[in-house]
Structure 1
Amino acid sequence: MAISVIVLVTLYFLLPLERSSAGTAITTLVVGLVVFVALVAFQVRSVLRSPFAGLRAVEALTISVPFFLLLFAGTYVVMAKMSEGSFGVPLSHTEGLYFAVTVFATVGFGDLTAKSEAARLVVTGQMIADLVILGLAIKVTAGAVSRSRRPGDAPGA
């Protein structure tokens, strides 16, 4: 579980995002979101079939949420490199991740902001997806824990 997150973060920091084109950025985001949806669907099935559903749900979240955040962080870094006016400041890998996490956490310190229309649309997309992910995570985790506590519903019962 922790190894997966370490691998994802390491890959994110090693990727040469500053050399991406607009087409590559859009394709990467779309393909990444499709992979994310497939990952979540697989994980939901795993949670529902697991004898330790609550633990499996936590494990699923610790893989899928960092993947989601790093996907948007990478998109923000590429957008900032392609158009300097997209954000208030140029974004490094660290700043891209920081911005994605502040959007996810709905903190919004105001030190980094989306300035261009395209950047604002992508950030808006992330905010909507954040709400869906949080709602789904809460529902699946609570449902899995509840289900695992009912003796007749446990796998193999």
Structure 2
Amino acid sequence: MVVAYFLLPLDLLGPRRPVLSWLLFALLLTAVAALLLRQIRHVLLERPDTRPGVVITLLIVLSVHVFSAAYYALAKQPDEFTGLRTRVDALYFTVVTLATVGYGDITPRGQAARVVTVLQITYSFVFLTAAATALAQRMRDVVVRRTERDRSG
């Protein structure tokens, strides 16, 4: 996934193709959110045939890359970001925002950049927190079942 992020032709997005850029961003983010909700549902229903540990982890990483790509494309527009010039910068800013650290070396200046940053924070609170909570619950259930099985057997 990381390799794909660095190889995708993201320079074709941004101010050169704003409609395509926003459409791809919305579609990818919606798809990742739907897949996360599906995994959360599987955990809540205790479906034994699923592997939420792998899938949820991959979806969280994918969501980070979707936001990174959006930031990188937005940074091609003048005055949207200060300090964001490369894909590494975009990935760094996404992780710093996700971790709510905010060092201040990269800042969203334009309205579109600020909207996407607010969207990332909200998305993280809603979807990624719910997914991480469901994953932790699943892991806790597995440990409890194994402990009970070891005690009885």
Q: Could you tell me whether the CA contact under 8 Å between 2:74 and 2:113 is conserved in 1?
A: yes
1:49 to 29, 47, 50: 47
**Aligned partner of 1:103 among 97, 111, 124:** 97
Structure 1: runs of 5 or more not aligned: 1-7, 152-157
For residue 22 of structure 2, what is the amino acid of its counterpart?
I
Distance 2:61 2:124 in 1: 12
Distance 1:147 1:75, change over 3 A: same
The CA deviation at 1:16 is: 1.5
Q: Does 2:107 correspond to 1:113?
A: yes
Give distance in 2, aligned partners of 1:50 and 1:70.
29
- Distance in 2 between residues matched to 1:15 and 1:135, nearest whole Å: 28
The aligned counterpart of 2:21 is 25
Distance 1:15 1:95 in 2: 16
Deviation at 1:137, TM superposition (A): 2.7
2:133 to 128, 139, 157: 139
1:91 Cα deviation (Å)?
Answer: 2.3
Identity %: 30
- Scaled by the length of structure 2, the TM-score of the pair is 0.81
Q: Which runs of 4+ in 1 moved over 6 A?
A: none
RMSD: 2.1
Q: Deviations over 1:14-55 (max 9, x none)?
A: 11212211111101111101210232133335543127x8xx
1:127-154 deviations in Å (ceiling 9; x for gaps): 1111113430343123223433258xxx
**Partner Cα separation in structure 1 for residue 61 and residue 24 of structure 2:** 16
Check conservation: 1:84, 1:90, Cα contact below 8 A: no
2:33 pairs with 1:37: yes
Distance 1:34 1:134 in 2: 13
Shift of 1:68: 0.4
Consecutive unaligned residues of structure 2, counting only runs of 5 or more, are: 147-153
How far, CA to CA, are the matches of 1:88 and 1:17 in structure 2?
19
